[in-house]
Amino acid sequence: MKDRPPREEGHSPEGAGESLLAQLDPQRLPRHIAVIMDGNGRWARERGLPRVAGHRAGIASVRETLESSARLGVEVLTLYAFSTENWKRPAAEVNTLMGLLREFIDKELQKIHEQGVSFRCIGRVEDLPSNVVKRLRHAEELTSANSGMVFQVALSYSGRSEIAEAVRKIANEVAAGTLEPGAIDEEAISSRLY
Ligand code: FPP
Protein backbone atom coordinates (compact mmCIF):
# COMPACT_ATOMS: atom_id res chain seq x y z
CA MET A 1 0.00 0.00 0.00
CA LYS A 2 2.75 2.47 0.87
CA ASP A 3 4.03 2.29 -2.73
CA ARG A 4 0.67 3.31 -4.13
CA PRO A 5 0.87 6.76 -5.77
CA PRO A 6 -1.28 9.52 -4.33
CA ARG A 7 -4.64 9.83 -6.01
CA GLU A 8 -4.52 12.53 -8.65
CA GLU A 9 -7.33 15.06 -8.44
CA GLY A 10 -9.69 15.43 -11.36
CA HIS A 11 -9.24 11.90 -12.72
CA SER A 12 -12.30 9.96 -13.74
CA PRO A 13 -12.67 6.53 -12.07
CA GLU A 14 -11.84 4.94 -15.44
CA GLY A 15 -8.73 7.11 -15.74
CA ALA A 16 -7.53 6.11 -12.28
CA GLY A 17 -8.30 2.48 -13.15
CA GLU A 18 -6.20 2.62 -16.31
CA SER A 19 -3.17 4.06 -14.53
CA LEU A 20 -3.42 1.39 -11.81
CA LEU A 21 -3.81 -1.27 -14.49
CA ALA A 22 -0.56 -0.19 -16.12
CA GLN A 23 1.28 -0.87 -12.85
CA LEU A 24 0.04 -4.44 -12.49
CA ASP A 25 2.18 -7.42 -13.44
CA PRO A 26 -0.23 -9.82 -15.22
CA GLN A 27 2.02 -12.75 -14.26
CA ARG A 28 1.43 -12.08 -10.58
CA LEU A 29 -2.33 -11.66 -10.62
CA PRO A 30 -4.34 -14.14 -8.54
CA ARG A 31 -6.44 -16.62 -10.52
CA HIS A 32 -9.24 -16.57 -7.97
CA ILE A 33 -10.32 -13.54 -5.95
CA ALA A 34 -12.84 -13.89 -3.12
CA VAL A 35 -14.53 -10.89 -1.56
CA ILE A 36 -16.59 -10.78 1.62
CA MET A 37 -19.18 -7.99 1.42
CA ASP A 38 -18.88 -6.06 4.63
CA GLY A 39 -19.08 -2.53 5.98
CA ASN A 40 -22.13 -1.36 4.01
CA GLY A 41 -23.84 -0.28 7.23
CA ARG A 42 -20.74 1.51 8.56
CA TRP A 43 -20.26 3.28 5.21
CA ALA A 44 -23.83 4.62 5.39
CA ARG A 45 -23.63 5.54 9.09
CA GLU A 46 -20.45 7.57 8.57
CA ARG A 47 -22.33 9.60 5.96
CA GLY A 48 -25.56 9.95 7.93
CA LEU A 49 -27.39 7.84 5.33
CA PRO A 50 -29.85 4.94 5.77
CA ARG A 51 -28.38 1.39 5.68
CA VAL A 52 -30.01 0.76 2.31
CA ALA A 53 -27.81 3.50 0.82
CA GLY A 54 -24.81 1.52 2.07
CA HIS A 55 -26.11 -1.66 0.43
CA ARG A 56 -26.67 0.23 -2.84
CA ALA A 57 -23.11 1.57 -2.69
CA GLY A 58 -21.93 -1.99 -1.99
CA ILE A 59 -23.64 -3.16 -5.17
CA ALA A 60 -22.01 -0.36 -7.16
CA SER A 61 -18.65 -1.68 -5.89
CA VAL A 62 -19.68 -5.18 -6.97
CA ARG A 63 -20.27 -3.87 -10.48
CA GLU A 64 -16.84 -2.21 -10.58
CA THR A 65 -15.09 -5.25 -9.11
CA LEU A 66 -16.79 -7.51 -11.62
CA GLU A 67 -15.83 -5.30 -14.58
CA SER A 68 -12.22 -4.88 -13.47
CA SER A 69 -11.69 -8.54 -12.61
CA ALA A 70 -13.08 -9.67 -15.98
CA ARG A 71 -10.90 -7.11 -17.77
CA LEU A 72 -7.78 -8.24 -15.87
CA GLY A 73 -8.33 -11.87 -16.82
CA VAL A 74 -9.07 -13.15 -13.31
CA GLU A 75 -10.46 -16.69 -13.69
CA VAL A 76 -12.86 -16.77 -10.75
CA LEU A 77 -14.42 -13.98 -8.70
CA THR A 78 -16.31 -15.21 -5.63
CA LEU A 79 -18.50 -12.83 -3.73
CA TYR A 80 -19.64 -13.79 -0.24
CA ALA A 81 -22.83 -11.75 -0.24
CA PHE A 82 -25.33 -13.12 2.27
CA SER A 83 -24.49 -15.55 5.08
CA THR A 84 -26.88 -17.78 7.03
CA GLU A 85 -26.25 -15.38 9.98
CA ASN A 86 -27.69 -12.54 7.89
CA TRP A 87 -31.18 -14.14 8.10
CA LYS A 88 -31.26 -12.84 11.71
CA ARG A 89 -31.34 -9.21 10.52
CA PRO A 90 -34.67 -7.31 10.69
CA ALA A 91 -37.17 -8.64 8.14
CA ALA A 92 -37.35 -5.24 6.41
CA GLU A 93 -33.58 -5.26 5.80
CA VAL A 94 -33.60 -8.88 4.55
CA ASN A 95 -36.46 -7.99 2.17
CA THR A 96 -34.55 -4.97 0.92
CA LEU A 97 -31.44 -7.08 0.30
CA MET A 98 -33.47 -9.67 -1.61
CA GLY A 99 -34.99 -6.84 -3.66
CA LEU A 100 -31.53 -5.44 -4.42
CA LEU A 101 -30.33 -8.87 -5.50
CA ARG A 102 -33.32 -9.21 -7.85
CA GLU A 103 -32.66 -5.74 -9.22
CA PHE A 104 -28.98 -6.56 -9.74
CA ILE A 105 -29.81 -9.67 -11.81
CA ASP A 106 -32.49 -7.84 -13.80
CA LYS A 107 -30.15 -4.95 -14.63
CA GLU A 108 -26.81 -6.70 -15.04
CA LEU A 109 -27.50 -10.17 -16.42
CA GLN A 110 -27.47 -9.22 -20.09
CA LYS A 111 -24.18 -7.35 -19.72
CA ILE A 112 -22.62 -10.22 -17.73
CA HIS A 113 -23.70 -12.61 -20.48
CA GLU A 114 -22.35 -10.39 -23.29
CA GLN A 115 -18.99 -10.21 -21.48
CA GLY A 116 -18.81 -14.01 -21.61
CA VAL A 117 -18.93 -14.28 -17.81
CA SER A 118 -20.32 -17.48 -16.35
CA PHE A 119 -22.57 -16.85 -13.35
CA ARG A 120 -22.91 -19.36 -10.51
CA CYS A 121 -24.44 -19.44 -7.06
CA ILE A 122 -23.10 -21.33 -4.08
CA GLY A 123 -24.64 -21.85 -0.65
CA ARG A 124 -28.12 -22.92 0.38
CA VAL A 125 -29.67 -20.94 -2.47
CA GLU A 126 -33.05 -22.68 -2.05
CA ASP A 127 -33.43 -20.78 1.29
CA LEU A 128 -33.98 -17.56 -0.69
CA PRO A 129 -37.43 -16.34 -1.83
CA SER A 130 -38.65 -18.22 -4.91
CA ASN A 131 -38.71 -15.09 -7.12
CA VAL A 132 -34.97 -14.62 -6.39
CA VAL A 133 -34.11 -18.32 -6.83
CA LYS A 134 -35.90 -18.29 -10.20
CA ARG A 135 -33.77 -15.40 -11.45
CA LEU A 136 -30.55 -16.91 -10.09
CA ARG A 137 -31.20 -20.27 -11.78
CA HIS A 138 -32.10 -18.50 -15.02
CA ALA A 139 -28.84 -16.52 -14.84
CA GLU A 140 -26.86 -19.73 -14.27
CA GLU A 141 -28.53 -21.46 -17.21
CA LEU A 142 -28.17 -18.51 -19.57
CA THR A 143 -24.44 -18.13 -18.88
CA SER A 144 -23.51 -21.78 -18.32
CA ALA A 145 -21.74 -22.17 -21.67
CA ASN A 146 -19.75 -18.93 -21.35
CA SER A 147 -16.02 -19.47 -21.22
CA GLY A 148 -14.92 -16.18 -19.60
CA MET A 149 -14.54 -15.42 -15.92
CA VAL A 150 -16.61 -17.39 -13.44
CA PHE A 151 -18.58 -15.05 -11.18
CA GLN A 152 -19.79 -16.91 -8.11
CA VAL A 153 -22.10 -15.42 -5.53
CA ALA A 154 -22.37 -17.12 -2.14
CA LEU A 155 -25.89 -16.80 -0.75
CA SER A 156 -27.17 -18.23 2.51
CA TYR A 157 -23.64 -19.52 2.99
CA SER A 158 -21.88 -20.76 6.09
CA GLY A 159 -18.61 -22.60 6.53
CA ARG A 160 -20.23 -25.13 8.85
CA SER A 161 -23.19 -25.88 6.59
CA GLU A 162 -20.75 -26.30 3.68
CA ILE A 163 -18.85 -28.94 5.69
CA ALA A 164 -22.12 -30.59 6.82
CA GLU A 165 -23.27 -30.81 3.19
CA ALA A 166 -19.99 -32.38 2.08
CA VAL A 167 -20.17 -34.93 4.93
CA ARG A 168 -23.79 -35.77 3.99
CA LYS A 169 -22.76 -36.35 0.37
CA ILE A 170 -19.92 -38.62 1.49
CA ALA A 171 -22.23 -40.58 3.83
CA ASN A 172 -24.76 -41.06 1.01
CA GLU A 173 -22.08 -42.26 -1.38
CA VAL A 174 -20.66 -44.69 1.19
CA ALA A 175 -24.19 -46.02 1.87
CA ALA A 176 -24.77 -46.42 -1.88
CA GLY A 177 -21.47 -48.28 -2.19
CA THR A 178 -20.01 -45.76 -4.67
CA LEU A 179 -17.33 -44.52 -2.24
CA GLU A 180 -15.04 -46.69 -0.12
CA PRO A 181 -14.55 -45.40 3.45
CA GLY A 182 -10.81 -45.88 2.91
CA ALA A 183 -10.97 -43.42 -0.01
CA ILE A 184 -12.13 -40.54 2.21
CA ASP A 185 -9.11 -38.27 2.13
CA GLU A 186 -8.54 -34.50 1.91
CA GLU A 187 -9.19 -34.50 -1.83
CA ALA A 188 -12.47 -36.43 -1.40
CA ILE A 189 -13.69 -33.82 1.08
CA SER A 190 -12.40 -30.85 -0.89
CA SER A 191 -14.06 -31.99 -4.13
CA ARG A 192 -17.44 -32.04 -2.33
CA LEU A 193 -17.18 -28.48 -1.01
CA TYR A 194 -18.79 -25.59 -2.90
C1 FPP B 1 -22.44 -6.29 4.58
O2 FPP B 1 -22.67 -5.04 5.14
C3 FPP B 1 -23.37 -6.60 3.51
C4 FPP B 1 -24.34 -7.55 3.57
C5 FPP B 1 -24.54 -8.41 4.73
C6 FPP B 1 -25.29 -7.81 2.47
C7 FPP B 1 -24.76 -7.58 1.07
C8 FPP B 1 -25.71 -8.12 0.09
C9 FPP B 1 -26.36 -7.41 -0.83
C10 FPP B 1 -26.16 -5.95 -0.99
C11 FPP B 1 -27.33 -8.13 -1.71
C12 FPP B 1 -26.98 -8.02 -3.17
C13 FPP B 1 -25.82 -8.80 -3.53
C14 FPP B 1 -25.27 -8.82 -4.78
C15 FPP B 1 -24.23 -9.80 -5.08
C16 FPP B 1 -25.65 -7.92 -5.86
P17 FPP B 1 -23.17 -4.87 6.64
O18 FPP B 1 -24.61 -4.52 6.61
O19 FPP B 1 -22.81 -6.11 7.41
O20 FPP B 1 -22.32 -3.67 7.10
P21 FPP B 1 -21.74 -3.42 8.56
O22 FPP B 1 -20.73 -4.50 8.82
O23 FPP B 1 -21.12 -2.09 8.42
O24 FPP B 1 -22.90 -3.45 9.49
Name the band, by pLDDT with cuts 50, 70 and 90, for residue 162.
confident
C-alpha to C-alpha distance for 170 and 192, rounded to whole angstroms: 8
d(CA 90, CA 93): 5
Q: What is the pLDDT of residues 89-139, one digit of tens each?
A: 999 999 999 999 999 999 999 999 999 999 999 999 999 999 999 999 999
- The yes-or-no answer on residue 25 being catalytic is no
With the most atoms of ligand 1 within 8 angstroms of its CB, the residue from 77, 78, 82, 109 to mutate is: 82
| pLDDT(4) > 70 | no
pLDDT surpasses 90 at 3:
no
Residue nearest to atom 15 of ligand 1 (CA): 81
Q: Of the listed 38, 95, 131, 172, which one is catalytic?
A: 38
> Distance from the CA of 128 to the center of ligand 1, in angstroms?
15
Q: Which of 3, 25, 40, 86 is catalytic?
A: 86
DSSP-assigned beta bridge partners for residue 162: none
Q: Which atom of ligand 1 is least distant from the CA of 51? A: 18
Q: How far is CA 129 from CA 89, 98, 139, 140, in A?
A: 16, 8, 16, 17
pLDDT band at 55 (very low <50, low <70, confident <90, very high): very high
Q: Determine the Cα–Cα distance for residues 88 and 93; give it in Å rounded to an integer.
A: 10
- What is the predicted pLDDT for the residue at 49? 97
Q: How far apart are CA 68 and CA 74, in angstroms?
A: 9
- Three state DSSP letters for 12-59: CHHHHHHHHHHHCCHHHCCCEEEEECCCHHHHHHHCCCCHHHHHHHHH
| Residue 66 pLDDT | 95
Residue 103: per-residue pLDDT: 96
Residue 119 DSSP one-character state: E
Write phi, then psi, for 7 (nearest 5 degrees).
Answer: -65, 130
Query: What is the value of pTM for the model shown?
Result: 0.82
3-state secondary structure of 156: strand
**The pLDDT of residue 85 is above 60:** yes
Q: Cβ-count burial of 194 within 10 angstroms (0-12 exposed, 13-18 middle, 19+ buried)?
A: middle
Q: Please check the confidence at residue 19 and state whether its pLDDT lies above 80.
A: no
Residue located nearest, by CA, to atom 1 of ligand 1: 38
E-assigned strands of the chain?
A: 32-36, 76-83, 118-122, 150-157
Count other Cβ atoms within 10 Å, centred on residue 167: 13
